[in-house]
Chain A
Amino acid sequence: MNYTSKRKKTILSIFAIMIALLHFMPFYILITTALKAKGDFSSKWIFPTEINWVNFSEAWEKANLGNALMNTAIITFFAAILLIIVGSLAAYPLARRQTKLNKFMYMFFIAIMVVPPLAALVPLYQLVVSIGLMNTHEVAIFNNVASFLPLTIFLYAGFIRSTIPKSLEEAARIDGASTINIFFRIVFPLLKPVTASVLIIACVFIWNDYQFAIFFLQDKSVQTMTVALSGFFGENTNNLNLVASAALVAMTPMVILFLFLQKYFIKGLASGSVKG
């Protein structure tokens, strides 16, 4: 390594660490704000001399975060399970049987991907009210499942077509296994990489969902993290320290998960970002 390229590398490394610091800055502000008491008017850039831990317990209780965490977990969990089962089941015939009906169906699901769910907000709201699902976990689960199904089917169908050999299923068929048996015992276990991606897409986008949740989950008992937080912000605009503590608590589970499973998150979200 010669002298100039070594110097160039040092300069580029300094650039990299400056970018990292710049991108970390808002989180630093969040942390200092969250740790200060309401009356502490010192600059947000200065780390507090006295850490006010009581903010966290107060925010946890007043914003009802425990309950919100539970609701978010329930909705994400069941939506993910439904997406995986319903999505993989649907993708199998679409990938394997090229009949006219199936080709049309596949195009139908792909076309739905472009429809922004919010464009139909008014009639969707009317529908949810009329079938009595307002303020239930089910409404958030079903809406999220419907909105992520096309992407899930797209990912599963692509994977089945390109990586699962037909000979496996044909061998099982000769042995007399039924289609549903072949699917669950032979094909589904081989779909693990896509299942992992779908799981991560569900975890990030459904966990963080605000658009569906704010319309359909206004009752305190079913509120998710995002809805609880936006309500809490509205009530406490004069106490930003408390709001910051609540925001920090709300984002922590996903951040921890991300730091441990970074590789899977990046891969899963890259396949999911086709939908955006």
Chain B
Amino acid sequence: MGFKKARKNNLEQNSSLWWMYVPAFLFVAFFIVYPFINGIRISFTDWNGFSQSSNFVGIDQYTRMLTDPDTWLVVRNTLLYGIGSTVFQNVLGLAYALLLNQSIKFKAITRTIVYLPVIISPLIMGYIWYFFFAYQGGALNDVLIWLGMEPINALGNPDMNIWIIVFVNTFQFVGIAMIIYLAGLQSVSKDFYEAAEIDGASSFQQFKNITFPLLMPSITINMVINIIGGLKLFDVIVSLTGGGPGNASQSMSTFMYDLYFSRQDAGYAATQGVLMMVIILILSLSALVYFRRKEVEA
């Protein structure tokens, strides 16, 4: 009896309790891993998205993708969205954090208002800015007309609307960067600044030699988050420009959606999906490696 019980306990101690993660594994395997592998198979076919049959076409879709000028336009846009938003969110987020870390008036309310868009749907955020930038009756053109200038069709102009999308995405998520930097700033010991003060260092020298190096972990985490977020951009583009005019402001996500649902080009859409996966993997892995190395140094 006593032996049996001890044996049972021992078994439980040693078991991997694997059954506890079976439900989670099934969810992920069924809805992420299986589609992902199946997507690679579809990328070698000319499937139209609804018919029962499709032909194996080898690497045709891949050669088509690499020679399609739209591919490079869309990749360029996606990188602009990812990298552009990252730069602006970090510069602004850090500036806001430095300002709101001081004991000044209005800092609580400012923090709340800057953070607010984070919790609003990016689709709705896009519509809100649409009311600002719209050609007909937009708030921006109201100002231009009042100043005696010509109204502009900012969202219909491919040179401008890409930057408007970067701007709106930055506006929406700068609050997250700000909060991460604020947390980073609050963890820097005051002793460093007091010592620097005694040595007669200027505020700029203090920022360059104390604040900035000690914020390195916050900077890298913000970079990784923002790059991945920007590369996946979808909702804001749908509500601001719909990817237009033509394909001018498409990201990889909206382009894939368009290929599948509007152009019945599912095989090709799957090929674009593989490319998107590869680009995101390369960028996030290099960000991760960089991140790890910095951690070791610190």
Contact between B121 and A210, CB atoms less than 8 A apart: yes
Interface of A is mostly: helix
Tell me the minimal C-beta distance from B247 to chain A in angstroms: 17
Provide the residues of chain A in CB contact with B284, threshold 8 Å. Answer: 114
Which residues on B sit within 8 Å (CB–CB) of A240? 131, 134, 137
Interchain nearest-CB distance for A144 vs B (Å): 9
Once the chains bind, are B225 and A276 in contact (CB under 8 Å)?
Answer: yes
Given the interface contacts A86-B23, A121-B273, A270-B183, does A9 sit within 8 Å of B102 by beta carbon? yes
Of the 9-residue stretches A50-58, A61-69, A190-198, A242-250, which lies at the interface with chain B?
A242-250
Contact digits for B104-126, partner A, Cβ 8 Å, 1 yes 0 no = 11110110111111111111100
B residues with a Cβ closer than 8 A to A are: 9, 12, 15-18, 20-21, 23-25, 27-28, 30-36, 38-39, 41-42, 49, 96, 99-100, 102-107, 109-110, 112-124, 127-129, 131-132, 134, 137-139, 142-143, 146, 171, 176, 179-180, 183, 221, 224-226, 228-229, 231-232, 234-235, 238-239, 253, 256-257, 260, 266, 269-270, 273-274, 276-277, 280-281, 284-285
Residue pair B30, A122 in contact (C-beta under 8 Å)? no
B280 touches A114 (CB 8 A): yes
| Minimum Cβ distance to chain A for residue B14 (Å) | 8
**A20 pairs with B106, CB closer than 8 A:** yes
16 more contacts with CB within 8 A, not counting A93-B16, A244-B131, A254-B119, are A16-B105, A23-B114, A23-B117, A26-B128, A26-B132, A89-B23, A97-B17, A99-B16, A118-B273, A121-B260, A122-B39, A210-B121, A210-B234, A247-B124, A250-B121, A273-B225
A123 to B132, CA, bound (A): 38
* B128 lies within 8 A of A93 (CB): no
Q: Is A4 an interface residue (CB 8 A)?
A: no
A114 touches B260 (CB 8 A): no
9 residue pairs, one from A and one from B, having the closest CB atoms: A93-B17, A146-B31, A208-B121, A90-B24, A90-B21, A123-B38, A13-B105, A120-B35, A123-B35
B214, chain A: closest CB distance, angstroms: 19
Q: Which of A33, A90, A125, A265 has the most CB of B within 10 A?
A: A90
User: Interface code A171-198, partner B: CB below 8 Å = 1, 0 otherwise?
Assistant: 0010000010001000000000000000
Q: What's the Cα separation between A185 and B21 when bound, in Å?
A: 18
Residue pairs across A and B with CB atoms within 8 Å: the count is 271
Query: Which residues of chain A have C-beta atoms less than 8 A from B17's C-beta?
Result: 92-93, 96-97, 179
A108–B179 alpha-carbon span in the complex (Å): 30
Is residue A78 within 8 Å, beta carbon to beta carbon, of the partner chain?
Answer: no
Contact A117 B235 (CB under 8 A): no
Give complex CA distance A97, B180 in Å: 32
With A93-B18, A269-B176 known to touch, is A123 a contact of B124 (CB < 8 Å)?
Answer: no
A274 partner residues in chain B, CB cutoff 8 A: 221, 225
Residue in B24, B102, B121 with the greatest tally of chain A CB atoms within 10 Å: B24
Is the CB–CB distance between A142 and B27 below 8 Å? yes
Provide the residues of chain B in CB contact with A254, threshold 8 Å. 119-121
1/0 per residue, CB under 8 A from B, across A76-92: the answer is: 00000000001101101
